[in-house]
Chains A and B, each alone.
Chain A
Amino acid sequence: MKRLVAAAVLSTISLPVPLDAQRGGRGGPPAPAAPRSAAPVDLTGQWVSLITEEWRQRQFTGAKGDFGSLNVVLLPPARKMAASWDPARDAAAGEQCKAYGAAGVMRLPTRLRVSWQDDAALRLETDAGTQTRLFTFGPPQGEGGDWQGLSTASWDYPRAALAGRGFGAAPGGSLKVITTKMKPGYLSRNGVPYSGNAVMTEFFDRFDVPGGDSLLVVTSEIVDPEYLATPYWTSQQFKRETDASRWRPTPCAAR
């Protein structure tokens, strides 16, 4: 047994290769593991939003110009655009889903269903507005330009935080999603805009709480030089649900 252990130690010294790169098997260049099988965390299931922050603005459609905490990040063009918000006009133009784009929908009161579309893509559906986001591992598929844009996914291991500390990466990790090419939409239902050049980076983390609940926390950063003075940082929490009957798809509403 001692010899076996020593051999294992020596092999790691001579081959300082991350274990996840070795998962392809023996011989030849290692084949990357399928994202689904490499998942460090299970995000699938039904989740319900917990609207405990920015509550009034998220549960109710604010009045025109009522920006809440968004006040601190908006550039003048965003204020001007929001001042012209007209939900009736949006509805008449068939644009009632402007608040349900990727950069807005995660902040709405909604339920999420997360599932694997295939081994390389996660699907996230919302019952509010009946939207679907697709998180593709590897090259993005499609052209974007719709409400949900193009989302590129990767697993984010906590290794970066450990650089230089002499420790290997810990188990667990996050889903990292970068979304671009979104059709211009609203950050909040009262017409605070984001542009088609906005880039949203999200980290999906799952936490198991003593007592049995599981939480999905989505930490997001939205960068939009056209409308935002600084990156817009928020985090949204969702609680895991086992009662699928609570899923109630509803169409987009302009207000």
Chain B
Amino acid sequence: MRSARGVKVWLGAALAALGTTLAGQAPVIPGAPTGQAPAVDLSGYWSPALHEDLMERGPGAEIADYGGFPLNEAGRLWALSYDPSRVTLRHHQCEAYVTPYQMRALGNFRIWEERDPHTQRLTAIHLWAQTTEGHRVIWMDGRPHPPAWAPHTFRGFSTGRFVGNALVVSTTHMKNGALRRGNGAPQSDQAALTEFFTRHGDHLTNVTVVSDPVYLTEPMVRSSDFARQPVDPGAWLYACDDGEQILDRPDDAVPHYLFGKQPFVNEFSARYKIPLAAGLLGAVTMYPELEARLGTSTEAEGRALLSPAAGRAPETSKASDREPRDGNIHVLPVRDNVYMLVGDGANIVVQTGDQGAFVVDTGEGKLADKVIAAIRSLTTKPIQFIANTSFRGEHTGGNARLGDAGQDPSLLGSFFVTAAPRGVTGFFSDPAAHATMMAHVNVQVRMQAANAPAAAVPADTYLEDRRRKFHNGEAIEFFYQKNAVTDGDSLIHFRRADVIVAGDIFTTTQYPVIDLKNGGSVQGEIRALNEILKKTVYRHQGEEGTYVVPGHGYLADEHEVVEYRDMVVIVRDRVKAMIDAGATLAQVKAARLTADYDTQYGANTGPWTTEMFVEAVYNSLKNAR
């Protein structure tokens, strides 16, 4: 006997096929996930009705006008530190809008459906935004969101379903960007977005609900209205190429304001005769209680909101853990024959091909067998080369096991093995049974000094700025980064796939672990981040193109690197300003100079805390004198 549920599905399918109209009952499409019955047709051309926030959406928002935004302290301080001239920097010039702001932007939208040609099931809904050529894909086929270590984009990854008379869209994996354009109100890469699209005749309403643990104390809700256009309004392109806007500017100069030094902060409140605090108080500014709240506000309160609150411990990161920690190795295809392996400490990169696997970094080694198994699932060829970006255990812990699992056939039968003096052949002991390990010489030196097992220490080293290799049909370059987080860091660039492995020079999870004892420095770190940016090319609107694999965290592109570079430069500048003013280390720490970044990168426990980072910057600058 057919089950009751089966009958319901069968009946619904029959009714839908017959085209009957049963108000109040949702038709069921055979095989469609729950909620897939289209409740609203958004297809067509739409123009925004600019009857709200016209000034912000046109000329731009005013400095220190953050009213109506539930910014936390970090968000407020990030915004106050922001200098709009930052967009003159090459890598910021063509950045697209993140989706919540894209839906508020000027310009027309085009929306169309994508259907499976055989079943006519709705696969996706596409939105094209004229401004920034914003192409969103809302997947309607029930696919899951990517894992935490997958790349972020300005649009993010969206899935949708119909609920009642609305299209409900969930978006994750957005880049950090502007929650409001022009005055710095930020949205982090940890933000999640829920949207509701409804249509009443030719009036489309889009409601965005942004939850951002890094910069918001509660969800930010906005609604935007669009009018349907009967004809194609045209002009869908938004070309952007970056260029030189300010010549001879040092590449470690990032426009920003020191805390409390934003020179235009009073303009907004003075112009409209409202208290300075009004635009700075966060969530309460959204509610009817604001008037009563401002009744007790003083000028001093407003001034205090321009700098980090004194006497508080640093905030800790509110970001979600980007590592699986499930005891398994997860493989993320990057591009072409390059893969990122996640799960055993630092990220591992594998390039495959006819010649054998080329592996960059080997993780902590706790899951080395699973790493080897994952590599073997990608290629039947042996691991021929292992390169290390750093000597740290998170990057070299699997060297010995992966080395033993590989071999370097290029040495077999070569002069070095068969005819060279014993001293030379001994150097390549048993090459058929081991991969060749490469790194900057300082990696070798540091590992030997730490009494690492010989089988784990790279023997094929380089000393100067660059090492070249052509492997599996691809040029691979090593670039030594002197005194970055250590004195042995390499960037490794797969040129055909255009993937840069950054090691711990760049992460998306924490402040850079600038290890002064092992040769690191804040200036070297900034220099190294800028070296990455000199090699990247974005594909479109400031994203994708060259991929950058961080030491820890999700697969990135130049946008994440430039934001990280900005952060290190800005913190350096703040520390330097206090040093120049004669501050002690204790005073610098107490000033909470990283308060706008702590909810993203901060830690008060563990191997690398916020205080340790600030101390490293302080001492690095002091020692450089």
Contact = CB atoms under 8 A, between A and B. Distances in A.
Interface stretch (B160-168, B256-264, B307-315): B160-168
Given A173-B165, A239-B221, 15 more contacts: A5-B10, A5-B11, A19-B23, A40-B165, A49-B288, A53-B222, A55-B67, A59-B291, A68-B54, A161-B165, A166-B16, A168-B15, A203-B198, A213-B219, A233-B203
B25 A156 contact: no
A165 B37 CA distance: 11
A59 B274 CA distance: 10
Interface in B453-481: none
A158 interface: yes
A72 B65 contact: no
B497 interface: no
Contact of B209 (A8, A49, A209): A209
Nearest to A6: B14
A117 interface: no
B242 interface: no
Interface stretch (A92-100, A142-150, A215-223): A215-223
Interface string B36-47: 011111000000
Interface in B197-245: 198-201, 203, 205, 207, 209, 211, 219-225, 227
A167 B23 contact: no
Nearest to B4: A1
Interface string B567-606: 0000000000000000000000000000000000000000
Contacts of B11: 5, 8-9
Given A52-B221, A167-B27, A205 B198 contact: yes
Contacts of B198: 174, 203, 205, 217, 219
Interface string A36-66: 0000110000001111111110011011001
Interface stretch (A10-18, A83-91, A131-139): A10-18
Contact of A167 (B38, B170, B200): B38
Contacts of B55: 68-69
A1 B4 CA distance: 9
B27 A72 contact: no
Contact of B165 (A2, A59, A172, A239): A172
Nearest to B17: A166
Contact of A56 (B164, B274, B286): B274
Given A221-B203, A233-B227, A60 B164 contact: no
A49 B291 CA distance: 14
A54 B40 CA distance: 28
Contacts of B41: 161-162, 165
B156 to A, nearest CB: 16
Nearest to A73: B51
Contacts of A8: 11
Given A12-B15, A158-B39, A205-B198, A18 B52 contact: no
A176 B201 CA distance: 12
A8 B20 CA distance: 12
Interface in A62-118: 62-63, 66, 68-73, 109-111
B68 A51 contact: yes
Contacts of B250: none
B405 interface: no
A82 B117 CA distance: 57
Interface residues of A, number: 76
Contacts of A176: 200
A207 to B, nearest CB: 5
A244 interface: no
B374 interface: no
B21 A233 contact: no
A174 B52 contact: no
B318 to A, nearest CB: 15
A245 to B, nearest CB: 13
15 contacts: A12-B15, A18-B22, A20-B23, A52-B222, A55-B65, A66-B272, A68-B54, A72-B50, A109-B287, A162-B38, A170-B164, A217-B205, A234-B52, A234-B225, A239-B221
B19 interface: yes
Contact of B51 (A12, A109, A234): A234
Contact of A170 (B165, B194, B201): B165
B398 to A, nearest CB: 39
A128 B40 CA distance: 35
B270 interface: no
Interface in A167-198: 167-174, 176
A9 B14 contact: yes
Contacts of A165: 38, 41
B40 A19 contact: no
B444 interface: no
